């Protein structure tokens, strides 16, 4: 047993008392991770099909990513955006090339919500005088003032602010008739092309094409929130690429840093041209370690052909996991929703008892899978077998 393992095995169990009680906790005390596996204090090996809310793109302990981040830490742990850094420029160049889209520039931030806040600010800059943003029912865009205002159900559950920073209209998903609600008053429309919290619900090419067209007719800025579905998770670099529909702005976070906190705002031509000195800002965004984490993540995805892996293993999940309580699937790639005939929370609990970690969603009959991009067929076999045992 290593010194670290000996120490942690004898340490008193954590009570988590100093932490604000805002998160319901999974019943597992994780000590470390290896690939797609979590190792718990009581010695269990748990198959992680949830990836820490879609973050662990390369799983745990990925050698090249860990080395790159460690080396950057040793080399230069921080310098602000006021100082030009090779690693930051390289990360931006690589992200643009990786996207396969006509992205003109990138603004790095720290989280998904922060990326969305900045996207909205840019939209209002591009559309001065307009006061409304349109979002979709069942959406999730983050917890901050603007992002939370656009999150379905937040006003009733947790929004907290006395008013939203702009007028918000929610329209139903995949309803092309409702696109008429987008008008010359609309500054921006924000959608997750594949909704995450909403239940791994894909909006589809037809709807997104109609949405793009309506935004063009009215001048509304189209924002794709790809914080959960993007950066490879859907089996393509971004859902914009998967569906062949180009927004004006894309926001990314989560998998982008493989656990190092990062976010990014990807700007197409119109938005990039409107950026002015001092219009946007951040202290930590695009710091050298964050940039190294992004760069190493892209390098690993390309070197290991992980997008092809996501596509192949997604098909395998669809072919083998519609068993037991699962009656179908929705979503794309490693943002898959397994449709369950009993409540998904019940299936999640029963899988946890078989050492498989999955997620639920806003849809009570959708079990959400957000595994690392490195997941293989043999691990999917374990899920299929566990589901079969549930009958
Ligand atoms: C689609 C989407 N947008 C934005 C966010 C907010 O990201 P963050 O928690 O990094 O602020 C999330 C987080 O779950 C998300 O799923």
> Would you state the structure tokens that stand for residue 264, as one six-digit string?
């990014």
Q: Is the CB of 253 under 6 A from ligand 1?
A: yes
Q: How far apart are CA 49 and CA 47, in angstroms?
A: 6
Quick one: pLDDT at residue 25? 87
pLDDT over threshold 70, residue 14: no
Average pLDDT over residues 188-194: 99
C-alpha 142 to ligand 1 mean position (Å): 5
Distance of CA 384 from the midpoint of ligand 1 (Å): 29
Helices (H), 244-376: 269-274, 288-303, 306-320, 344-353
For residues 120 and 223, is the Cβ–Cβ distance under 8 A?
A: yes
Does 228 sit in the ligand 1 pocket, CB within 6 Å?
A: yes
For 68, the token pair is 């790159």
pLDDT band at 26, cuts 50/70/90? confident
Beta strands in 137-235 (DSSP E): 167-171, 186-191, 194-195, 201-202, 221-225
E strand or H helix at 365: none
pLDDT at 11 over 50: no
Instruction: Summarize pLDDT for 136-189 with one digit per residue, the tens.
Output: 999 999 999 999 999 999 999 999 999 999 999 999 999 999 999 999 999 999
Q: Using alpha carbons, select from 121, 176, 128, 175 the residue that is nearest to residue 149.
A: 121
Chain centroid to CA 279:
26
Residues 6+ apart with CB under 8 A from 280: 107, 118, 121, 122, 265
Do 332 and 229 touch, CB atoms closer than 8 A? yes
Handedness of CA 102, 108, 112, 116 (dihedral sign): negative
Structural element, H or E, at residue 166:
none
75 alpha carbon – ligand 1 mean position (Å): 31
Cα-atom radius of gyration of the chain, to the nearest Å?
Answer: 21
CA of 149 to the centre of ligand 1 (A): 13
How far apart (Å, rounded) are the C-alpha atoms in residues 311 and 234? 8
Per-residue DSSP letter, 20: -
From 142, 147, 150, the mutation candidate for ligand 1 (largest count of ligand atoms within 8 A of CB) is: 142
Contact 133, 188 (CB under 8 A): yes
CA 381 to mean position of chain CA atoms: 25
Q: pLDDT by residue (tens digit) across 225-280?
A: 999 999 999 999 999 999 999 999 999 999 999 999 999 999 999 999 999 999 99
Say whether pLDDT at 4 is over 80.
no
pLDDT above 70 as % of the chain: 96
Would the CB of 110 count as within 6 Å of ligand 1?
no
Instruction: Specify the ligand 1 atom closest to the Cα of 261.
Output: 10
Q: 200 CA distance to ligand 1 centroid (A)?
A: 14
d(CA 295, CA 134): 33
- Taking the C-alpha atoms of residue 221 and residue 271, their distance in angstroms, rounded to an integer, is 9
Instruction: Verify whether ligand 1 is closer than 6 Å to residue 148 (CB atom).
Output: no
141 CB within 6 A, ligand 1 = yes
């Amino acid at each position: 047993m290593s010194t670290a393992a000996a120490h942690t095995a004898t340490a008193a169990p954590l009570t988590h008392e100093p932490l604000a009680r805002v998160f319901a906790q999974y019943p597992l005390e994780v000590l470390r991770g290896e690939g797609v596996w979590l190792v718990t204090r009581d010695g269990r090996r748990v198959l992680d099909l949830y990836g820490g809310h879609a973050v662990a793109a390369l799983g745990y302990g990925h050698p090249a990513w860990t080395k790159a981040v460690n080396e950057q830490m040793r080399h230069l742990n921080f310098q602000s955006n006021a100082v030009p850094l090779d690693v930051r420029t390289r990360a931006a160049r690589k992200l643009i090339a990786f996207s396969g889209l006509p992205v003109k520039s990138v603004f790095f931030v720290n989280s998904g919500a922060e990326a969305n806040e900045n996207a909205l600010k840019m939209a209002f800059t591009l559309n001065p005088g307009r006061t409304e943003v349109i979002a979709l029912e069942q959406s999730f865009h983050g917890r901050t003032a603007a992002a939370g205002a656009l999150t379905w159900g937040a006003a009733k559950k947790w929004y907290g602010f006395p008013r939203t920073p702009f007028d918000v209209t929610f329209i139903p998903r995949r309803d092309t008739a409702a696109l008429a609600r987008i008008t010359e008053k609309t500054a921006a429309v924000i959608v997750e092309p594949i909704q995450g919290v909403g239940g791994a619900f894909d909006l589809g090419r037809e709807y997104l094409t109609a949405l793009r067209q309506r935004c063009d007719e009215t001048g509304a800025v189209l924002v794709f929130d790809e914080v959960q579905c993007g950066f490879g998770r859907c089996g393509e670099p971004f859902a914009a690429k998967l569906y062949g529909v180009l927004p004006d702005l894309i926001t990314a976070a989560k998998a982008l840093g493989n656990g190092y906190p990062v976010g990014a705002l990807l700007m197409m031509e119109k938005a990039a041209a409107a950026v002015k000195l001092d219009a946007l800002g951040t202290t930590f965004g695009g710091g050298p370690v964050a940039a190294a984490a992004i760069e190493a993540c892209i390098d690993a995805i390309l070197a290991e052909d992980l997008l092809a892996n996501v596509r192949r293993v997604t098909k395998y999940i669809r072919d083998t996991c519609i068993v037991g309580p699962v009656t179908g699937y929705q979503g794309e790639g490693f943002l898959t929703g397994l449709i369950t005939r009993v409540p998904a929370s019940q299936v999640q609990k029963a899988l946890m008892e078989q050492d498989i970690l999955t997620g639920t969603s806003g849809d009570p009959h959708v079990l959400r899978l957000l595994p690392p991009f490195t997941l293989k067929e043999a691990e999917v076999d374990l899920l299929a077998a566990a589901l079969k045992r549930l009958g």
